[in-house]
């Protein structure tokens, strides 16, 4: 097996260059602009928007369009689209909504029933002609195109290598392979051999995804798959500082400061009501492992204003300083 790329090495994807090969996955409900900024500050080489419906853009859904908001300070963020109609997906790539995005990622791995039943996401693993048509149509937009997919629909029926080749032949500039089948959702050991087979089948960059929670996990993933980079998902949701750790940093994460920065960014765009709800959720993730956080979490979720949220956070951090 060919050893994977060096951890931290930059990548060329179409006409886009990334500073390193440790990426943040698109996470529905989480990877908005404020969260991405936090991940970039800790060293993420590339972040993706939340999964965006091509049909939603076509029919002028403001909620869908809002998912594409970027801060001016963000680097080369990629937009992730999902859909099943090749022409609607191409229209989305060419639309004014995606004008500022140089890299478009097509989701062909989402396992959730409402997406799958519409013939979108992982359902495309069972429709090779449609998947190829989607990629080739999107490529006509002139954008760099990547594809994120799972290794198959069911355990024992892995199509990773064949689907990887299909993506490359249709014009994809990069693929991300989640080393689980659809029926596994997000549990179980990723199939390193299946990812390795996809890497061996193509010449374009291959990013390996699934089960990367630490630097040791990332190194193992690269060594066992030969991949060109890794993508971090749930680990980033719980701890965006994980990018620094994976890249070999030894700095200490100031959780309180990170929460405050993310809150301030969100307030400017979303307003207080949405920000409070989102940051109650995010703060509960970031506080995991701190003394007393389990008891304080219930109190955190009763907060109805930013002032109340900050007061509870002050109490949590103060009690931890006293306990140290």
For 290-315, give the DSSP string.
STTHHHHHHHHTT--SHHHHHHHHHH
pLDDT of residue 317: 87
Task: Look at the chain and report how many structural domains it folds into.
Answer: 2
Tell me the mean pLDDT in the region 270-292: 92
pLDDT at site 1 = 53
106-151 per-position pLDDT tens digit: 999 999 999 999 999 999 999 999 999 999 999 999 999 999 999 9
178: closest CA among 38, 23, 45, 34? 23
pLDDT on residue 98: 96
Q: pLDDT tens, 31-78? A: 999 999 999 999 999 999 999 999 999 999 999 999 999 998 898 899
pTM above 0.85, yes or no: yes
- Whether residues 179 and 60 fall in one domain: yes
- Among residues 216, 246, 276, which one ends one of the domains? 246
Is residue 299 scored above 90 in pLDDT?
Answer: no
- Both 124 and 80 in one domain: the answer is yes
In the prediction, which pLDDT does 322 show? Answer: 45
The catalytic site residues sit at 110
Structure confidence by residue, pLDDT tens digits, 180-210: 999 999 999 999 999 999 999 999 999 999 9
Same domain as 165, residue 52 = yes
What is the domain range of residue 112?
11-246
| Domain match, 76 and 130 both | yes
The percent of residues above 90 in pLDDT, for the chain, comes to 87
* Residue at which a domain ends, from 223, 246, 269: 246
State the pairing for strand pair 157-158/152-154.
antiparallel
Q: CATH number of the domain that 318 lies in?
A: 1.10.1200
Bridge-based pairing of strands 16-18 and 11-13 is antiparallel
pLDDT at 319 over 90: no
Mean of the per-residue pLDDT values of the chain: 94
Q: Compute how many other C-beta atoms are within 10 angstroms of the C-beta atom of residue 264.
A: 12
The model's confidence at residue 297, banded by pLDDT at 50, 70 and 90, is: confident
């Amino acid at each position: 097996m060919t050893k994977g790329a060096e951890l931290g090495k930059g990548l060329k994807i179409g006409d886009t260059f990334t500073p390193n090969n440790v990426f943040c996955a698109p996470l529905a409900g989480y990877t908005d602009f404020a969260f991405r900024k936090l991940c970039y500050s800790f060293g993420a080489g590339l972040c993706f928007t939340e999964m965006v419906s091509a049909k939603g853009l076509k029919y002028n859904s403001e909620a869908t369009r809002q998912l594409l908001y970027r801060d001016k300070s963000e680097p080369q963020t990629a937009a992730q689209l999902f859909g099943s109609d090749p022409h609607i997906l191409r229209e989305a790539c060419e639309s004014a909504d995606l004008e500022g995005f140089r890299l478009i990622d097509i989701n062909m791995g989402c396992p959730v029933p409402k997406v799958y039943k519409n013939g979108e996401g992982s359902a495309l693993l069972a429709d090779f002609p449609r998947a190829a048509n989607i990629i080739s149509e999107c490529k006509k937009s002139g954008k760099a195109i990547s594809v994120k997919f799972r290794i198959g629909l069911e355990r024992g029926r892995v199509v990773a290598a064949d689907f990887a080749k299909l993506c490359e032949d249709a014009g994809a500039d990069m693929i991300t392979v989640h080393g689980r089948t659809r029926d596994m959702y997000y549990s179980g050991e990723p199939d390193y051999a299946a990812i390795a087979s996809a890497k061996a089948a193509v010449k374009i960059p291959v990013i390996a995804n699934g089960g990367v929670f630490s630097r040791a996990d990332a190194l193992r993933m690269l060594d066992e798959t030969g991949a060109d980079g890794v993508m971090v998902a749930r680990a980033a949701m719980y701890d965006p500082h994980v990018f620094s750790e994976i890249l070999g940093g030894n700095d200490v994460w100031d959780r309180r400061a990170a929460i405050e920065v993310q809150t301030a960014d969100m307030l400017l765009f979303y307003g207080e009501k949405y920000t409070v709800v989102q940051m109650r959720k995010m703060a509960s993730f970031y506080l995991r492992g701190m003394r007393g956080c389990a008891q304080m979490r219930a109190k955190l979720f009763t907060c109805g204003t930013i002032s109340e949220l900050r007061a509870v956070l002050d109490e949590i951090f103060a009690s931890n300083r006293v306990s140290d």
